[in-house]
Chain A
């Protein structure tokens, strides 16, 4: 891949930072400046400014239709932004496509699960390892020694990654036949296989019961600590968001209306009005 021309680093706009103290002074894994997108005349996301530290767990919340998933799609270049800059580890991702952004370090899961349903669980993870364990096409067709060596490595790495969620016994199952929760977990494993520096989780706890959610929370923290990555998640389950997110960003009608720690967000009158206030009781949106 050709190295893109690197723009001079922009002066960070102050007061964007919701970075936890230990990450202050380190190069942020993600920095969005004035990010926005229009669909025709509709402005879906506007003036999205955020900074995420290299070991932060950040939350992105907001009412339905606020533009949360659109932000993820902008970061991964499923949509090309109309305005603004995305700096990933200090590097401008301008002009990159989805695959290149992934190689640069962003991996994601999807709100509506997108697995390779006809392939086995192991193959799903191996596809995630596509750019990590490589060999030329010819070695595969002619079954040269490099093929066997790299395939063995891929097999072992896939099982090791699956063991994060204790899924190594499911390796031979067809991905589409897994129960819902396991499919969500497999998506996370596949994303981790691409060796990201920032993992985007789109509603990881959707459809999970409270005990599964508690387990997921533990696992998210564990993943952050073992892989030394930053995690940004969209979630409606407030117990999860308030429980593990160090910085929370609230989106409404495509605009950031509040940023801060869990306590600050819960006390913010704007948030209560726009988001929690729409429900009689605060908390669960579902």
Chain B
């Protein structure tokens, strides 16, 4: 087989990743048109896209930047609720659904990016465990703030309160959008599978292009050897922050997409468990392996539904946990890795193992 240059190899690898996403989209659209997808799975399509975007963006921080972040759901939450508020308050101004969704996702992304910047500036001076703890705290703080936040809209614009719905003092024709612990109960569903697919493609393009550029190399250099990276003139905080904010922006957009798929949504949806779930996607798919993140996010979101179908309902979470452990063991164990690669060689001859989207 012809030896490929690294840049060519990267190109081939990235094309495969894009190809998988596009083909999956086409297949699902065809099956959908033929009515061959159950409503349960249909309802999961948008969340899958949102989770894939979350996993891709978290991989940028955990896999490429090498920082453990446990508050990724916080950014999703910021994007989700700012997106919903924007979408509901612009209902008259922008009648077109897809345009309003795009605007909502954009605003959600920008605000999540801003939150990422504010958290990142002090936090990225910390290292290792400290960073994990502070991001964890951030996720909880965001959840609790949104839990007490009331937002309403009337002809004078947006109104905020942290007391109760009455304190908003809404005028004639005004209505409350976000009602504290109740969350949003009157959302208009705007998300579609196509919008999710486009978001995944955008996230994929941003992350893959970023890691194969000057800034991405700086981020990976800091991960591999911080002292050496500094000694060749790379500013630590700048590039750590860049990766963190980019990741937050994508998570914000994913949050807006996710929220716009439900008619009611509350802050407790984006708690610590969601952060961990996304982290599981990333670790299971492989740190720094974008294609792995995509497959893991899709697979693990569908798995519980699939088990429900097999009438394993009582054992659903048990099987889920066992599958997780087995996959982790299989992918991260040296001897099993050798076994799989020799198996692959027997099956495909000299076909070489591809190292993911690195």
Contacts and interface: CB of A to CB of B under 8 A. Distances in A.
Interface of A: 76, 78, 97-100, 102-103, 107-108, 110, 114-120, 122-123, 126-128, 130-131, 133-135, 137, 139-143, 147, 150-151, 154-155, 171-172, 190-191, 193-194
A69 to B, nearest CB: 12
A137 B210 contact: yes
Q: Would you list the 5 A-B pairs with minimal beta carbon distance, nearest first?
A: A140-B213, A114-B228, A102-B233, A98-B230, A116-B224
B62 to A, nearest CB: 15
A127 B229 CA distance: 8
Nearest to A78: B227
A115 B228 contact: yes
A140 B227 contact: no
Contact of B224 (A119, A135, A193): A119
Contacts of A99: 230-231, 233-236
Contacts of B206: 141
B6 A172 contact: yes
Contacts of B227: 78, 98, 110, 114
A140 B234 contact: no
Interface stretch (B47-55, B95-103, B215-223, B299-307): B215-223
Interface residues of B, number: 30
B277 interface: no
A116 B231 contact: no
B221 A119 contact: yes
Nearest to B209: A141
Contact of B220 (A78, A116, A122, A172): A116
Contacts of B149: none
B228 A143 contact: no
Interface string B1-32: 00001110000000000000000000000000
A191 B210 contact: no
B346 interface: no
A128 B215 contact: no
Contact of B228 (A116, A126, A171): A116
A130 B233 contact: yes
B210 A141 contact: yes
A120 B234 CA distance: 18
B115 to A, nearest CB: 20
B214 interface: yes
B232 interface: yes
A97 B209 contact: no
Contact of A140 (B210, B231, B358): B210
A147 B210 CA distance: 11
Nearest to A137: B215
B217 A123 contact: yes
A120 B242 CA distance: 23
A128 B217 CA distance: 10
Contacts of A130: 214, 217-218, 221, 232-234
A208 B249 CA distance: 49
B6 A120 contact: yes
29 contacts: A78-B230, A97-B230, A98-B231, A99-B231, A99-B234, A103-B233, A110-B228, A115-B224, A115-B225, A116-B224, A119-B217, A119-B220, A120-B6, A123-B6, A127-B218, A127-B221, A127-B234, A128-B232, A130-B214, A130-B232, A130-B234, A133-B214, A137-B213, A140-B210, A140-B213, A141-B213, A151-B213, A151-B214, A190-B232
Nearest to A76: B231
Given A78-B230, A119-B221, 17 more contacts: A98-B231, A102-B233, A110-B231, A114-B225, A114-B228, A117-B225, A123-B220, A130-B221, A130-B233, A137-B214, A140-B209, A140-B213, A141-B206, A141-B210, A151-B213, A154-B214, A191-B231
